[in-house]
Amino acid sequence: MSAEIELTGANFEAEVTKSTKPVIIDFWAPWCGPCKAFLPTLAQFAGQHPEIKVCKVNVDDAPEIAQRFNVASIPTIIFFMNGKPMDTVVGRKTLADLATHAKNSFGS
């Protein structure tokens, strides 16, 4: 079972901007092969790190969020702390890559 939260324009502020936890957002689309291949890794990371909120933005359903953060390629992962973007990585990443970027972004 997946622990990721699907973000929309309606819930972005509550889930990200006002979050008391660090947040990782995966920008993806259902037609993107690398995005689909990355889904199990993201789900595994979410399961291993309950202290981090893991969210997803379907760029087709919420293009305004992708535009707000200048997402030009997918998958793109943005790491947020206190509602502010701390780091951005583009492309499919490994579990170790996610853990390293989270540690660097969140200091944990």
- The tokens describing 99, both together, are 């853990």
Given 23, 24, 25, 32, which residue is catalytic?
Answer: 32
55 has catalytic annotation: no
Instruction: Identify the three-state secondary structure at position 100.
Output: helix
Given 23, 35, 55, 65, which residue is catalytic?
Answer: 35
Sign of CA dihedral 33, 60, 72, 66: negative
b/e code 79-101 from CB counts within 10 Å (16+ = b): bbeeeeebebbeebbeeeebeeb
Return the active site residues: 32, 35
